Structures are given as C-alpha cells and as structure tokens.
Amino acid sequence: MNQEYEGAEIAPPFKGNCHRCSKETDSFTMSWFSTESICLDCSDEENNHADIKLAKDVELAHVKVGNFNYPGIGWPGKDNRVSLDISALYPPTVLPIDEE
C-alpha cells in the first residue's frame, strides 16, 4: 500500500548512537516525532517540546485505525514548531473494524 506522507523519514536501526545528536548511548527510546531511536537527553527535549501533545495525539489516532507503522509527524527541532498542516497529519479515513 502506497501512502502519501510528508512527515518523518524512516530511520535506520539503532546502532549505539543517538539518531538525533549522534551521542553514543546505551539507553535509548523511540521518538514520538519520528522513527528515530534517541538518547534520554533528546527524549527529555521531546517531552518539553511544545508539540509533544500533538505528536502523541497523531500517533495514537493512527494506531486507533490500525496504522501501526506510522512514522511520526517529524521532529521540527528543539526550538521550532511542527509547521505542516496539522489536519493532514491525522488518518484520512477511519477504517472499518473487522469483527470477523
């Protein structure tokens, strides 16, 4: 299935360095904004970001319609805001739930 998407790129697998700041780290977590594996410092930065609520909200909206591969809305940078059309980030249609 081909979906038009204008947010984050798919990041490569974690190999010991934070995808965002390149710092070597043993502890990493998945970004809410992208598919990057990021260190805990970068994670703190995300949690303090003005758009973290939006990032989580959009992610959950996609999970709700069964899109578990949603790559995130894209990390805008520490001091920037997500500048995409917000409504375009949400799933275009609600898929029917298969109850069989």
Interaction of residue 49 with Zn ion, rule CB under 5 A: no
Q: Would you call 82 helix, strand, or coil by DSSP? A: coil
Cα distance from N-terminal residue to C-terminal residue, the chain: 22
Interaction of residue 73 with Zn ion, rule CB under 5 A: no
Identity of the residue, 77 or 92, whose beta carbon is nearer to Zn ion in the bound complex: 77
Instruction: Compute, in degrees rounded to 10, the torsion defined by CA atoms 59, 63, 66, 68.
Output: 70
Site for Zn ion in 19-48 (CB under 5 A): 20-21, 23, 39, 42
Select the residue whose beta carbon is closest to Zn ion and give its number.
18
- Which residues contribute to the site for Zn ion (CB under 5 A)? 18, 20-21, 23, 39, 42
